[in-house]
């Protein structure tokens, strides 16, 4: 029998020590242990994501009962106690005594038997604490585990009330949105096909090609393997539809991996026109090509290209340039839970500079009367509305529309897009 908690411990260690994104590590582990039953896969994912996502809240509570503060604990012990704390505080279906016992077992298994008494004492106190009065926190920022800089950034971009809604949304179980491949089936047909696979869906709140479902193991779905749908947030779908894609267009996607928007553009053109999907490395373009093959698209090609480097061959060649650019990712904190612990002031400043460098190139690829679609999966004004001002002001394009989606307010990820005409 596979030791799931031991796998989770390895995931947490790699995330902290190697800096690999948590979602990427989980995906790799689940691919390696593909034989795991769905219940075990779900437990691995929930415990991994939750222990990282709730780190500030967990550490606050642990520090109230431990003689050694979390920041001074040995790394391995800190991870084990955080895991147990998450189970005790947030996974009500697991008996607290089991979480305590498993924490002690893991400590011994990982050759830390000398600290098993400490692990036992701290986790037992956590169990007793959770069985008493409701846990209290000094403020909502700690309750929802948001670093101070991210919280202040949210308040500065919106207001305290909106910031609280965004933080609360981190605890919500998000639906899965499916983009129907209209070249292979209709929305109604896909609903019936998925129903036979045991997946219930309903129409998405908006979007002409979207269904909404509860989360399921997409990779094991026969209809997914056959290319009948892709997983994509409806905010991204809305951006492509706002761009006004028509049959026969030439579309350039500058930062395309893993290919969601590029493939959507190819689908919207119903096999006509041409989509050039670029990204910076062969590894990234391989991910795009996997989706192209699965979806059966013939009007899309990939290429390796650094969007920050101007390409004379692309000058004034595109009816539409898609610039979905690197950003701080604060709109997808529900899915990439470790982003909020990574981002710093200097990171956003460097991202803004990179975005403008790419935009300077992007506008030169747009034909006269063509369009530019700028988008990010973040929430900061510096990366969104102020960049739109830069495009319409310094770069001379005419803004057609823009929209900011905010998680916790809108039924989707946080996302921004703006569409411009090259008049």
Distance, in Å, from the CA atom of 141 to the CA atom of 231, rounded to the nearest integer, reads 31
Give the C-alpha separation, 61 to 80, whole Å: 15
pLDDT of 421:
98
Mean pLDDT of successive 10-residue segments in the chain (423 residues)? 94 94 94 92 96 97 96 97 97 95 97 97 92 81 97 96 96 91 94 96 91 90 97 96 97 98 97 97 96 98 97 98 98 93 94 98 98 98 97 98 98 97 95
What is the predicted pLDDT for the residue at 133?
A: 63
Of 266, 184, 175, 263, the residue nearest 223 (C-alpha): 184
* Strand ranges inside 122-265, DSSP E: 176-180, 201-203, 210-213, 229-231, 250-253
Residue 369, phi then psi, degrees to nearest 5: 75, 5
At 216 the pLDDT is 87
Reference 207, options 189, 187, 191; nearest CA is 187
Q: Which domains does the chain carry?
A: 4-136 (1.10.940.10), 173-231 (3.30.70.1170), 234-421 (3.40.50.150)
d(CA 282, CA 357): 22
- Enumerate residues 6+ apart whose C-beta is below 8 A from 382: 348, 352
Q: Give burial (CB, 10 Å; 0-12/13-18/19+) of 294.
A: middle
Count CB atoms within 10 A of the CB of residue 220: 12
Pinpoint the alpha helices (H) of 364-422.
385-393
Q: Answer whether the bond into residue 258 is a cis peptide, omega within 30°.
A: yes
Instruction: Put residue 396 in one of left, alpha, beta given phi > 0 → left and psi -120 to 50 → alpha.
Output: left
pLDDT at 9: 98
Shortest CA distance to 261 belongs to which of 285, 233, 290?
233
Distances (CA, A) of 406 to 16, 88, 388, 412: 28, 31, 17, 8
The pLDDT value recorded for residue 28 is: 95
Residue 315 and residue 318: Cα distance in Å, rounded?
8
Q: What is the pTM of this model?
A: 0.93
Query: Can you list the positions of beta strands (E) in 236-299?
Result: 250-253, 274-279
From first CA to last CA, the distance across the chain in angstroms is 64
Residue 163 C-alpha from the chain's centroid: 19
CA angle, 153 as apex, 150 and 159 as ends, to 5°? 120
Residues 89/137, Cβ–Cβ less than 8 Å:
no
- Provide the β-strand partners of residue 398: 421
Q: Are 151 and 142 in contact (CB under 8 A)?
A: no
Sheet containing 229-231: which strands, arranged edge to edge? 201-203, 210-213, 176-180, 229-231
8 A C-beta contact, residue 92 and residue 50: no
């Amino acid at each position: 029998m596979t030791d799931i908690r031991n796998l989770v411990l390895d995931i947490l260690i790699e995330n902290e020590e190697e800096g690999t994104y948590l979602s990427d590590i989980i995906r790799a582990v689940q691919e390696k242990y593909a034989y795991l039953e769905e219940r075990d896969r779900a437990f691995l994912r929930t415990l991994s994501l939750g222990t990282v996502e709730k780190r500030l809240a967990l550490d606050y509570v642990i520090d109230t009962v431990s003689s050694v503060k979390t920041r001074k604990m040995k790394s391995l012990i800190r991870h084990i106690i955080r895991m147990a704390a998450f189970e005790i505080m947030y996974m009500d279906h697991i008996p607290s005594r089991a979480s305590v016992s498993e924490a002690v077992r893991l400590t011994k298994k990982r050759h830390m038997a000398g600290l098993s008494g400490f692990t036992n004492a701290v986790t037992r106190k956590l169990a007793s604490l959770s069985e008493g009065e409701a846990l209290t926190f000094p403020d909502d920022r700690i309750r929802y585990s948001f670093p101070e800089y991210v919280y202040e950034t949210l308040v500065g971009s919106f207001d305290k009330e909106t910031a609280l809604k965004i933080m609360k949304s981190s605890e919500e179980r998000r639906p899965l949105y499916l983009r129907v491949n209209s070249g292979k089936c209709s929305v109604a047909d896909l609903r019936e096909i998925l129903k036979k696979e045991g997946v219930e869906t309903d129409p998405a709140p908006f979007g002409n090609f979207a269904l909404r479902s509860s989360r399921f193991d997409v990779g094991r779905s026969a209809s997914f393997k056959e290319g009948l749908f892709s997983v994509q947030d409806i905010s991204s779908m809305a951006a492509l539809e706002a761009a006004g894609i028509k049959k026969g267009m030439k579309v350039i996607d500058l930062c395309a991996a893993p290919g969601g928007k590029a493939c959507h553009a190819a689908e919207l053109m119903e096999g006509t026109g041409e989509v050039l999907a670029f990204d910076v490395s062969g590894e990234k373009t391989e991910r795009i090509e996997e989706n192209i093959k699965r979806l059966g698209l013939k009007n899309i090609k990939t290429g390796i290209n650094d969007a920050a480097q101007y390409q004379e061959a692309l000058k004034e060649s595109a009816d539409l340039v898609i610039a979905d650019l690197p950003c701080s990712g604060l709109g997808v904190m529900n899915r990439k839970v470790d982003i909020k612990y990574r981002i710093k002031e200097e990171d956003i400043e460097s991202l803004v500079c990179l975005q403008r460098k790419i935009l300077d190139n992007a506008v030169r690829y747009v034909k006269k009367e063509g369009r530019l679609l700028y988008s990010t999966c973040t929430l900061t004004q510096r990366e969104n509305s102020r960049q739109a001002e830069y495009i319409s002001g310094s770069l001379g394009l005419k803004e057609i529309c823009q929209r900011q989606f905010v998680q916790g307010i809108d039924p989707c990820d946080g996302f921004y897009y703006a569409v411009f005409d090259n008049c």
